[in-house]
Structure 1
Amino acid sequence: MTLERLATAWAVFQGLVVEAMPFLLLGVAIASIARWLNPGGAWLQRLPSHPLGGPLTGAALGFALPACECGNVPVARRLLAGGAPLATALGFLFAAPVLNPIVLASTWAAFPDRPWLLLARPGGALVLSLVLASLLRLLPEAVLLTPALLEERRLSQPLEAVGLLERRGGVIGAAPSAAVPAAPRRPPLGEALGHGVREFNNLALLLVAGSGIAALVQTLLPRSWLLALGSSPTLSILALMLLAVVVSVCSSVDAFLALGFAAQVTPGALLAFLLLGPVVDLKSIGLFGVLLRPRAIALTTAGAALATLLIGQWVNLWKL
């Protein structure tokens, strides 16, 4: 790699980290406050678990919390660790990066002359969240979630749902209904802040590593190669999907990046870029490692890519 390319990669890396780090900090702050205010996660367990109502509820939570694809990971982890239904937590994880006021406002500012896109992007994000939540719910939790998160989640489950042995505590052999768990205490504020700092440090390392990989790949793979395929209905979608994964730009500003090449690509490809990037890119795949096992991450990537391709194809049939 020449010095010029190395300097470009460094500049891209800095841009990605500076752009994403505030949202990661915001997400960790939201998760830490939720853990301090509601240590037992009682309200989380009351969220709907319906295959349709759960993801829609998670998407609604995403509208209320302005976190991009980096900031939504610690919040989704807090939901899962607190015992929230899988459907709701996964719906939030996959829909929140698009269905929040900052992203919707930036999309409106970038494309005021394309009203169909202002409806298609949040609509497509809802479809993706429903598809991915339904797909991942087919896996048992022990196969889906990381061991550390699974153990935290089991500790938050009601005794009638998870036995004492599964909680790794209590009296061996006692009937679940015979034990009355103590009400969870609110941790001291300093303890909650310390937990948040440790979580931020762990996630920040993953974010930095993912941003470094994205910067190198983006430097070695010029965008002009991908945009040259912009006129082909199917190849343009595939090219822009790959571009979305590679550039790994935050969902709060990706609409302005897309504005620079919107006239060169098909409508379906433009929508595919705005849908896939917030769900799966090189930096978010690393962050998923604190939630999901590798098999689940691979299933998420494949499912998101296939659903985005189908949505893009449908839009091209409609708009071309």
Structure 2
Amino acid sequence: MTRLNTAWALFQGLLLEALPFLLIGVLIASLARWFSPGGAWLRRLPAHPVAGPLTGAALGFALPACECGNVPVARRLLVGGAPVGTALGFLFAAPVLNPIVIASTWAAFPDQPWLLLARPLGAVLVALGLALLLRLLPEADLLRTDLLEERRLNQPLASVSLLERRAGVIGLSEDAPPSLPSQPAPTWREVLQHGGREFLNLALLLVAGCALAALVQALLPRQWLLAVGSAPTLSVVALMLLSLVLSVCSSVDAFLALGFAAQITPGALLAFLLLGPVIDIKLVGLLGMLFRGKGLLLTAAGAGLLVLLIGQWVNLWRL
């Protein structure tokens, strides 16, 4: 009974942390759909393998959403026709680069200036590495089928045929310009209906993810993972696992880490602050709204490897 009460309390805490940011993300995505229904500006974002993810990461400085809220925004970027690398750079880096997270990290660790630089820099490196890794998969193997179909509707005919888009104007000549017809702005009612459906779908997945994370936390005491906090390699691995289990939002994870920062290595501390915003238990369902199975597995494996290497390098530097 005690563990059940603990799991219920943890579930409520995780859900109350994440829901406001999910709502903010859906609102941002809905406003983008209203202001730019065709997404023309999204297709002008850089598609370069390096410049694209870095541009996407830079967008995170202006958006106050954590990893849960970034999922609907990243989905809107992809649906609107933005380059995949740019959208992935935003998805993976913005949860750390947004102003709320930067301020909370500074407030929690004002006496560790190296961390205030290492966390944003590490987030950019992880996002860039994942964007380059996921480029190895064709879009059809990476993105969900429904998302891919919406995305193709917003791409020029020079890139996607009418057959692939499953829509278009019958009888369009081959000499027609490869541009998209202008789309009328949706009404506020349409925007609210679309945003409401998206919020409901994502919220249901978030509830399931928070419930699973709370159950795992209640059954697996974190002391088991903190027991190896002084070992250079095991500490990094242990804190990566702890970040997956705790599943706290990036806006508050620095304050949580402050409670055990003195017990672990610097690389383990940074690993905890880097991996959680990219992948954790509560995020799996939300990321499943973007990626197919291969994309999810590659994201989890790639993020784990990159964060492990960064944590190991920091331990060599700081210990």
TM-score, normalization by structure 2 = 0.98
* Alignment correspondent of 1:297: 296
Identity of matched residues, %: 73
SS in 2 for 1:96: helix
1:90-169 to structure 2, matched below 5 A, reads 90-169=88-167
CA 1:176–1:273 in 2, change beyond 3 Å: closer, same or farther?
farther
* Structure 1 residue 263 displacement after superposition: 0.2
CA 1:239–1:156 in 2, change beyond 3 Å: closer, same or farther?
same
SS in 2 for 1:71: helix
> Structure 2 counterpart of 1:84, which letter?
A
1:29-48 to structure 2, matched below 5 A, reads 29-48=27-46
* Alignment correspondent of 1:72: 70
1:302-317 to structure 2, matched below 5 A, reads 302-317=301-316
* Structure 1 residue 177 displacement after superposition: 3.8
SS in 2 for 1:97: helix
Structure 2: where are the runs of 5+ without partners?
none
SS in 2 for 1:256: helix
User: Conserved in 2, the CA contact under 8 Å of 1:132 and 1:300?
Assistant: yes
* Structure 1 residue 173 displacement after superposition: 7.2
Deviations along 1:135-171, one digit per CA (max 9) or x if unpaired, are 0011100000000000000000011111111111235
Kindly tell me the number of residue pairs found equivalent between the two proteins: 318
CA RMSD of aligned residues (A): 1.1
Matched, 1:217 2:216: yes
User: Conserved in 1, the CA contact under 8 Å of 2:154 and 2:180?
Assistant: no
* Structure 1 residue 175 displacement after superposition: 4.3
SS in 1 for 2:115: helix
> Structure 1 counterpart of 2:254, which letter?
A
Point out the more displaced range, 156-165 or 127-136. 156-165
> Structure 2 counterpart of 1:65, which letter?
L
In the alignment, the residues of structure 1 paired with residue 164 and residue 248 of structure 2 have an alpha-carbon distance, to the nearest angstrom, of: 41
TM-score, normalization by structure 1 = 0.97
> Structure 1 counterpart of 2:73, which letter?
V
User: Conserved in 2, the CA contact under 8 Å of 1:210 and 1:283?
Assistant: yes
* Alignment correspondent of 1:53: 51
> Structure 1 counterpart of 2:196, which letter?
V
* Structure 1 residue 176 displacement after superposition: 4.5
CA 1:53–1:251 in 2, change beyond 3 Å: closer, same or farther?
same
* Alignment correspondent of 2:287: 288
Deviations along 1:112-135, one digit per CA (max 9) or x if unpaired, are 010000000000000000000000
CA 1:19–1:46 in 2, change beyond 3 Å: closer, same or farther?
same
In the alignment, the residues of structure 2 paired with residue 266 and residue 215 of structure 1 have an alpha-carbon distance, to the nearest angstrom, of: 26
* Alignment correspondent of 2:181: 182
> Structure 2 counterpart of 1:160, which letter?
A
Point out the more displaced range, 80-89 or 172-181. 172-181
Runs of 4+ in structure 1 over 6 Å off: none
User: Conserved in 2, the CA contact under 8 Å of 1:159 and 1:176?
Assistant: no
SS in 2 for 1:98: helix
CA 1:46–1:314 in 2, change beyond 3 Å: closer, same or farther?
same
Point out the more displaced range, 101-110 or 158-167. 158-167
> Structure 1 counterpart of 2:266, which letter?
P
Matched, 1:257 2:256: yes
CA 1:151–1:214 in 2, change beyond 3 Å: closer, same or farther?
same
